[in-house]
Copies of this chain bind each other. A is one copy, B any other.
Amino acid sequence: MRAGIKQVAELAEVSTATVSHVINSTRFVSTETKEKVYRAMRELDYRPNAIAQSLRSQKSNTIGLIVPILPSDTSNFFFMTVAQGIQMTLKRYGYHMLLSNNVNEELGDEQEQIKLFNTKQIDGLIIASIAEEVGYLNDIVHNQYPVVFIDRKPVGYKGDYVLADGYGGSLEAVRQLLEKGHRRIGFITGTLGISTSNERLEGYREALAQQGVPYDPSLVMIANASFESGYLCAQQLLASGDVTAVFVANNVLTMGVVACLQEKRIRIPDDLAVIGFDDYDWTKITSPPLTVIRQPSFEIGVTAAEVMMKRIEKRSEQQRHKEYRLPTTLIERGSC
């Protein structure tokens, strides 16, 4: 059996209250008693039972994370990297991460997950909700812990959110294409409705507008987030005729597009210039290597976790909720 606080108290010849207080530095204890307690703890290799601590203090030192990662191989490097960022920084703060990925991309599952998390007394929730409207959180969270949103801008619930500057990134990508003389520029994006896609589309339109290039809806392809879907969109876009460049606003779709171009022996960038989304190692090994808009995925995770820690520490000071928008970068390689 593992030693408990009682055994430590006995061995140190103090009360359990004292032991607890030296563990948590929650009231003054004389140096000598402290020493006795430390000695006893060491001797018994004592570790406080986190479950008991949680039950008593109503605090679990655990943050719940919900992200939509499909079971496919590819999808979603992005969220996995974000999750790593979160996990690593939580660790630094002594927090744990309870991970749940919403596989079906169904809203009901998402809610169910949160209820399960509640049951585990999470101290905070970080979520990339699949919902366009997250008002339902009001009923589930009951304001009992902070919620930090990632990747998408929440509507219907007040909370901090951290995401990349998709608008700016998209603007920069399309500008780059325009500068190279392209006028018929395709745009392939994931489902509209969520803020991420919307913003990227906006950036595309704005870039065109700034150069006086008319917006042609037939050049905009809406895919669902899969390799195959990217492949098909590329195919359609090519069939439509005179496109000379394409900006793909999502990493999985980018792969599908490249696969299609390669199969059809369309040369990049000569026949078609391409800018992809997200910077991963594999974008360096296509031929030519891909020019992409980099999102700081790891940093998004780090920031989200840090914002969360700040919220938890200063629970009382009801500061306004903030938007944390991290800049994207154009990484120029050979595809445009």
- Residues of A bordering B, CB below 8 Å: 2, 47-52, 54-55, 60, 69, 71-74, 77, 80-81, 84, 87-88, 91, 96-101, 103, 115-116, 118-121, 142, 227, 252, 255, 258-259, 262, 279-282, 284-287, 289, 297-298
Known: A55-B51, A71-B84, A88-B103. Contact between A2 and B118, CB under 8 A? yes
The CA of A310 and the CA of B72, in the complex, are separated in Å by 26
Give the residues in chain B near A54, CB-CB below 8 Å: 51
Give the residues in chain B near A103, CB-CB below 8 Å: 88
B284 contacts A286, CB within 8 Å? no
User: How distant is A297 from chain B, measured CB to nearest CB, in Å?
Assistant: 8
Known: A255-B282, A285-B259. Contact between A50 and B119, CB under 8 A? yes
B74 contacts A120, CB within 8 Å? no
A-B contact pairs, 14 of them (CB 8 A): A47-B118, A47-B119, A52-B55, A71-B88, A73-B279, A73-B298, A97-B98, A99-B99, A258-B285, A262-B285, A262-B289, A282-B282, A282-B285, A287-B287
A284 contacts B298, CB within 8 Å? no
Give the residues in chain B near A80, CB-CB below 8 Å: 80
Give the residues in chain B near A282, CB-CB below 8 Å: 74, 255, 280, 282, 285
Q: A121 contacts which of B49, B71, B252, B279 (Cβ < 8 Å)?
A: B49
Complex: chain B residue closest to A230, CB-CB = B281
Return the 3 tightest CB-CB contacts between A and B, nearest first.
Answer: A282-B282, A74-B281, A50-B119
Further 13 A-B residue pairs, CB within 8 A, beyond A50-B116, A73-B280, A262-B289: A47-B115, A50-B121, A51-B121, A52-B55, A69-B84, A71-B298, A73-B279, A73-B298, A252-B281, A262-B287, A282-B282, A285-B286, A286-B287
